[in-house]
Amino acid sequence: MNTIAENARQQFAENFSGTPRLFFSPGRINLIGEHVDYNDGFVMPAAINKGVYYALAPNGTTTLNFIAMDFQERASFDLKDVAGSEGWKNYVLSVVNEFLLLKKNIGGFDCVFSGDIPRGSGMSSSAAVEGGLAYGINEMFNLGLDRVTLALLCQRAEHNFPNVKCGIMDQFANMMGKNGHVILLDCQSIKHQYFPLKLDGYKIVLINTNVHHSLASGEYNIRRQRCEEGMSILKKRLSIHSFRELKESDVRDARDEMSEKVFNCCLFVVQEIERTQKAAILLQSNDVQAFGKLMFEAHEGLSKLYEVSCKELDHLVEMATKFDAVIGARMMGGGFGGCTINLVKNEGIESFVNAVTLDYQQKFHIIPEAYIVETGDGTHELS
């Protein structure tokens, strides 16, 4: 048994009675397709072997008792008082709230959770927190909701109390991930395909800037608004329903009708949707070199047009371009900090990581962290 799960079980035994059920809920990576999930685009995430572990049991009352081990905090609420809160409480309560909004018959429960996703790393610890609890509640109270319904429920939960108007990528990868595979998700139809992640001779390496600029969630919603504003202008000009029906030239033709920021966001979205479709073909034909080039291009767009990067991320990507062994690199996730995702030749990983660590430390006086990614399955119960 994984030690985090074991510790959660032990904490549970020390604080509550009964035998808990244990669940694992993964974080995610995203190979390509950033900030397009809420713009009807395509994304290419995978669940990873890092995540959040839950120990859960119904307690026969109407009280919800939580112990958040990594925050060394505990909190209790009555089911009838579930409301917006702050920090981790906002996420777990928002999940419970979604079940209540669906009028699902749930009771009180005891809950201990802990994880190994570095906070603010862009590996979506929030979706892991949401998904593990939603899955656990569904199991404990035999609600019979399927995984996609649970992913959508978790997305609504993130919109609601935390007020982050996220797309569906993170929650989908969390529920639907499959070991050894990436998911190509069509965010318009919510249809998906799995591809085996075979990167002959290469590995995916994440470098964590260990910074997370606090503007992130507000800026996220602002990007979403810019895209909505742009879309409404484009819809007036053309008979279209979504960004995927557009060509770059359609956006360029409407330049005079938009602010520069709105124009740049729309241009990025159209380019990124196209890039992700190309990338999916390249990955299936094992052309990792060409795939890597698209990652660099995506970073350029995220940084210059969509403006969701930061100097630490830009520096790490810039460093990556200097290593022959690194064939692709870009920021990953919402941005403003967190990780870069790098496609690195096996034999070059060590020297790349060592050099980047030293350089980054000298420049920013922060120690970055590197992880070699291993994919994993979506949220599940541990035996």
Cβ proximity of 187 and 168 under 8 Å = yes
Q: Tell me which of 136, 333, 376, 378 binds ligand GLA, using CB under 6 A.
A: 333
Q: Of the two residues 131 and 167, which places its CB atom closer to ligand GLA in the complex?
A: 167
User: Any bridge partners for residue 46, and if so which?
Assistant: 29
How far is 58 from 141, CA to CA, in rounded Å? Answer: 8
Q: Tell me which of 132, 167, 292, 337 binds ligand GLA, using CB under 6 A.
A: 167
How far is 7 from 4, CA to CA, in rounded Å? Answer: 5
# residues near ligand GLA by CB under 6 A: 11
CB of 95 to ligand GLA, least distance (A): 15
Q: Tell me which of 98, 110, 130, 170 binds ligand GLA, using CB under 6 A.
A: 170
How far is 48 from 28, CA to CA, in rounded Å? Answer: 5
CA 329-334-338 angle, 5° bins: 60
Considering the rule CB under 6 A, would residue 279 count as an interface residue with ligand GLA?
A: no
CA 186-187-189 angle, 5° bins: 70
Give me 356's structure tokens: 């980047």
Is 70 tagged catalytic?
no
Site for ligand GLA in 102-161 (CB under 6 A): 124
> Considering 170, 186, 256, 314, which one is annotated as catalytic?
170
How far is 266 from 185, CA to CA, in rounded Å? Answer: 20
Q: What is the DSSP string of 205-234?
A: EEEEEEEE-TTHHHHHHHHHHHHHHHHHHH
CB of 383 to ligand GLA, least distance (A): 30
Backbone region of residue 215 per phi and psi (left: phi > 0; alpha: psi in -120 to 50; beta: other values) = alpha
Q: Of the two residues 22 and 52, which places its CB atom closer to ligand GLA in the complex?
A: 52
Considering the rule CB under 6 A, would residue 166 count as an interface residue with ligand GLA?
A: yes
Q: Tell me which of 131, 334, 376, 378 binds ligand GLA, using CB under 6 A.
A: 334
Considering the rule CB under 6 A, would residue 95 count as an interface residue with ligand GLA?
A: no
Site for ligand GLA in 24-53 (CB under 6 A): 34-35, 37-38
Contact segment (CB under 6 A) with ligand GLA among 81-89, 141-149, 166-174, 286-294 equals 166-174
Cβ proximity of 170 and 124 under 8 Å = yes
Q: Tell me which of 57, 92, 169, 254 binds ligand GLA, using CB under 6 A.
A: 169
CB of 227 to ligand GLA, least distance (A): 11
Backbone region of residue 286 per phi and psi (left: phi > 0; alpha: psi in -120 to 50; beta: other values) = left
CB of 187 to ligand GLA, least distance (A): 9
Binding mask 193-232 for ligand GLA (x = CB under 6 A): ----------------------------------------
CB of 271 to ligand GLA, least distance (A): 14
Q: Of 297, 223, 286, 213, whose CA–CA distance to 32 is shortest?
A: 297
* Residue 18 DSSP label: S
CB of 182 to ligand GLA, least distance (A): 14
Catalytic residue annotation: 170
> Which parts of this chain interact with ligand GLA (CB under 6 A)?
34-35, 37-38, 124, 166-167, 169-170, 333-334
